[in-house]
Structure 1
């Protein structure tokens, strides 16, 4: 049985319709930031256990970016919201 994700725009959809970008808490450095800041941004990431927010794209549906909160231990999806609305 495929797991479903409740897209705020399309409703319940199969997980296979989504692609994952990664950690939603990482902030891109300023273009003029030094090499160390860019190295940290590109290569140093945590691997959290438990609840974690990620950017996902509904590539097989509305094509919107979403913030999906899921448990990295059980892979259960806990919450889904539109990424643009979450940034406001």
Structure 2
């Protein structure tokens, strides 16, 4: 079983966590102005990179807090853990990739 390091609780077994998707996705500035197609792109279109990738995780059976992690999607290895709102740590290839939201 893999251990995931919660920024508040420390290392815990992976069964205590839930994946929350790609990290650092910005909510549209004017959501009322988006077309159905633009909403669909915002909600459903995410990067699917091979290698280091910033993700959002929740310690659902522990402190119930959300945090971000850089995980290598090829090996499932967690390369860095950081709190929501903090910059992505300097992991090569882990730069946040935000989808383009058109208003």
Contact preservation (8 Å) 2:8, 2:63: yes
- 1:1-88 alignment to 2 at 5 Å? 2-29=1-28, 30-35=30-35, 36-83=37-84, 85-86=85-86
Q: Which runs of 5+ in 1 are unaligned?
A: none
Task: State the 4+ residue runs in structure 1 displaced beyond 3 angstroms.
Answer: none
Distance 2:33 2:15 in 1: 36
Give the number of the structure whose residues are more often helix, by fraction: 1
Instruction: After TM superposition, give the deviation of residue 80 of structure 1 in Å.
Output: 0.9
Instruction: After TM superposition, give the deviation of residue 6 of structure 1 in Å.
Output: 1.1
More contact order relative to length (CA 8 Å, sep ≥ 6): 2
Instruction: Give the aligned CA root-mean-square deviation in angstroms.
Output: 1.5
Q: Which runs of 5+ in 2 are unaligned?
A: 88-103
